Amino acid sequence: MKSFQKQTACASIGLKLSNVEAGEALFTLPFNSNFTQQHGFMHAGIITTALDTACGYAAFSLMPEDAAVLSIEFKTNLLRPAIGERFLILGKVIKPGRNINFCEATATAIDAHGAETKVATMSASIMAVYDRAISD
Amino acid sequence: MKSFQKQTACASIGLKLSNVEAGEALFTLPFNSNFTQQHGFMHAGIITTALDTACGYAAFSLMPEDAAVLSIEFKTNLLRPAIGERFLILGKVIKPGRNINFCEATATAIDAHGAETKVATMSASIMAVYDRAISD
Amino acid sequence: MKSFQKQTACASIGLKLSNVEAGEALFTLPFNSNFTQQHGFMHAGIITTALDTACGYAAFSLMPEDAAVLSIEFKTNLLRPAIGERFLILGKVIKPGRNINFCEATATAIDAHGAETKVATMSASIMAVYDRAISD
Amino acid sequence: MKSFQKQTACASIGLKLSNVEAGEALFTLPFNSNFTQQHGFMHAGIITTALDTACGYAAFSLMPEDAAVLSIEFKTNLLRPAIGERFLILGKVIKPGRNINFCEATATAIDAHGAETKVATMSASIMAVYDRAISD
């Protein structure tokens, strides 16, 4: 997907697109010791980068080709420390709209034994932008 | 500050602590083309990484030495595209507490001429953790 | 439930407890023309009153008897206009904790034909308070 | 203001418009024992009703006459128990836009001696709706 390649932030943190369906996007984020906070967990802002990206792709999957997506706002809930070998980041549109898409996303840690733990959730409002400058 | 050095995420995105006072922390984040989204703006999640860090430091500045800070949740409002030469990230405690600190932060873009534009705001709940495992 | 009777706000808006299980609480809110906004929909703040109450009860269902619950913060997403004969308000604990309970709630409108439409969602942080003044 | 009169929720909780300027709206909410939670404080959802209304009016003050305002989402932070004789509710637009207005609001309790205590804050996204069904 062309637009994903321009997202240098995603490449820099190692976020990889695994699957996109209508209204849903799944990404994988490996644990990366370059992006931790003071206790050695993945930084909440980096998990948020992944969650926001998953919401944006889920919303984009329902839009016409010429639309662009812009995050208006998101809230991240940090349920547990973000420790694990990798994280599954799943974004879903819970209410599509011509202008506003309400999305939710979850970050699930996978440990060395394959055990899964939900570590964070997001709710986000993603706007579709048509035929005008992004910066409006 | 020792704990800041362990925050590899902050070093990786180039976030620098400028000033800490009681209940307030100021950081500077240079524009970095390795951390953009699809339109070439700084990724909302990277701005969030800086805002969350500023909230955490503002809260930590009011706590005893042996306390640790954990973000419970935050909401980021993305007012305008994050374009600029650098960003000033200011975190403030708006209501301190023994357990929960309510914090707010703003990200202000500075362009090549020094003009300032507020690009994002955050409200965050930061918990103080004493004498027990962080992962509880 | 004794504490529910003291919640005069709930009685005033007509909110009724339907069911409580471990980590989950279901309420019913009838449409009430005394609590609308300017277009004749139920006011988002009244829907929020119901959602917050459902989150609080869900959290309280997992706590010891002597604990009290306090909402720290919540975010409400207004998916669609709150129109209908009545609303089902379902609160769930998604991550219990000794101090902080992360909860989610949904408001589902039921029309005259029994058709269901999700109109709002909430994510909330609910704190357990033990052995100390609530107002601390 | 005509639209305010249709807001029966506001009348029912006793919320009164005190002042509107460009991008700002001030309301007064008396303490009302019919709208408390289990500890006798004003219910967080009722305070939210007032905060959301103040955000909506602040946004509406900057729009053309034929526009309607709809709240997309809001987050309320409950800093302290909502106790007092009355509450000042101040809403402000922090970033106006053709589609989305970012607003903030505060609830300040006034006690019998006139002392002021900030009890809650809100950040809200308010959408302007033109020439089309509200329910879209």
pLDDT of residue A131: 67
pLDDT of residue D7: 85
Here the tokens at position C67 are 């604990």
Percent of chain B exceeding pLDDT 90 equals 86
- Residue A5 pLDDT more than 90? no
> Measured between alpha carbons, how far is residue B7 from residues B4, B14, B76, C29, D124 in Å?
5, 11, 21, 47, 31
DSSP 8-state assignment for residue D134: T
Q: Which residues of B touch A9 (CB under 8 A)?
A: 34-37, 42-43, 45-46
Please calculate the CA angle C107-C110-C112 and round it to the nearest 5 degrees.
Answer: 160
Neighbours of D60 (CB within 10 A): 23
Q: How many CB pairs under 8 A join B and D?
A: 30
Q: Which of C99, C103, C126, C130 to mutate to test the interface with B (most CBs of B within 10 A)?
A: C99
Cβ–Cβ < 8 Å for B114, B88: no
- What lies within 8 Å, CB to CB, of A4 at 6+ separation is A10, A17, A57, B38
Neighbours of A25 (CB within 10 A): 27
Per-residue pLDDT band for A80 (boundaries 50, 70, 90) equals very high
- Residue D86 pLDDT more than 60? yes
pLDDT digits (tens, 9 = 90+) for B41-83: 999 999 999 999 999 999 999 999 889 999 999 999 999 999 9
H-helix or E-strand spanning residue B51? helix B44-60
Here the tokens at position B58 are 């503002």
> Measured between alpha carbons, how far is residue C68 from residues C123, C131, D10, D81 in Å?
19, 9, 29, 13
Residue of B nearest to D103 (CA): B77
CA-nearest of C94, C49, C66 to C3 is C66
Count Cβ atoms within 10 A of the Cβ of residue C33 and give its class: 0-12 exposed, 13-18 middle, 19 or more buried.
exposed
H-helix or E-strand spanning residue A24? strand A24-30
- What lies within 8 Å, CB to CB, of C17 at 6+ separation is C1, C4, C25, C26, C27, C57
- Residue D135 pLDDT more than 50? no
Report the distance separating Cα B94 and Cα D57, nearest Å: 25
pLDDT digits (tens, 9 = 90+) for D16-51: 999 999 999 999 999 999 999 988 999 999 999 999
B78, B80, B81, B82 alpha-carbon torsion, rounded to 10°? -70
Q: Sign of the C-alpha dihedral, residues C20, C26, C29, C35? A: positive
Here the tokens at position C10 are 């709930």
Question: How is the beta sheet containing A100-110 ordered, strand by strand?
Answer: A16-21, A24-30, A86-95, A100-110, A116-129, A68-78, B68-78, B116-129, B100-110, B86-95, B24-30, B16-21
Residue of A nearest to D99 (CA): A99
Smallest Cβ–Cβ distance between A46 and the set B9, B38, B40 belongs to B9
**Which residues of chain B have a Cβ shorter than 8 Å from any chain D Cβ?**
75, 77, 79-80, 94-95, 102, 104, 118, 121, 123, 125
Q: Which of A79, A95, A103, A122 to mutate to test the interface with C (most CBs of C within 10 A)?
A: A95
Q: Per the CB < 8 Å rule, is A76 touching B73? A: yes
Q: Per the CB < 8 Å rule, is A73 touching D98? A: no
Per-residue pLDDT band for B134 (boundaries 50, 70, 90) equals low
Strands (E), C10-51: 16-21, 24-30
Q: How many CB pairs under 8 A join B and C?
A: 21
CA-nearest of D118, D72, C135, A99 to B102 is D118
Per-residue pLDDT band for A7 (boundaries 50, 70, 90) equals confident
Cβ–Cβ < 8 Å for C89, C28: yes
Smallest Cβ–Cβ distance between C75 and the set B72, B75, B127 belongs to B75
Report the distance separating Cα B49 and Cα A37, nearest Å: 10
Q: Which residues of D touch B71 (CB under 8 A)?
A: none
Smallest Cβ–Cβ distance between D127 and the set A100, A123, A136 belongs to A100
Reading phi first (left if > 0) and then psi (alpha if -120 to 50, else beta), residue C17 is in beta
Q: Per the CB < 8 Å rule, is C43 touching D49? A: yes
pLDDT of residue C20: 97
Q: Per the CB < 8 Å rule, is C125 touching A80? A: no
The set of chains that have 3 or more CB pairs under 8 A with A is: B, C, D
Per-residue pLDDT band for D131 (boundaries 50, 70, 90) equals low
Q: Per the CB < 8 Å rule, is A74 touching B76? A: yes
> How many Cα neighbours within 13 Å face the side chain of B34?
8
CA distance B68 to chain C (A): 15
pLDDT of residue C131: 67
CA distance C77 to chain A (A): 8
Report the distance separating Cα B67 and Cα C22, nearest Å: 33
pTM over 0.90: yes
Here the tokens at position A39 are 């206790």
Q: Which residues of A touch B6 (CB under 8 A)?
A: 36-40
Report the distance separating Cα D119 and Cα C15, nearest Å: 25
Here the tokens at position D31 are 């303490």
Average pLDDT over all residues of chain B: 93
**Which residues of chain C have a Cβ shorter than 8 Å from any chain D Cβ?**
3-4, 6-10, 12, 33-40, 42-46, 48-53, 56, 68, 70-78, 80-81, 83, 134-135
Per-residue pLDDT band for A135 (boundaries 50, 70, 90) equals very low
Across B35-44, C73-82, C127-136, D122-131, least confident range: C127-136
- What lies within 8 Å, CB to CB, of C22 at 6+ separation is C61, C62
Report the distance separating Cα C126 and Cα C106, nearest Å: 16
pLDDT digits (tens, 9 = 90+) for C22-33: 999 999 999 999
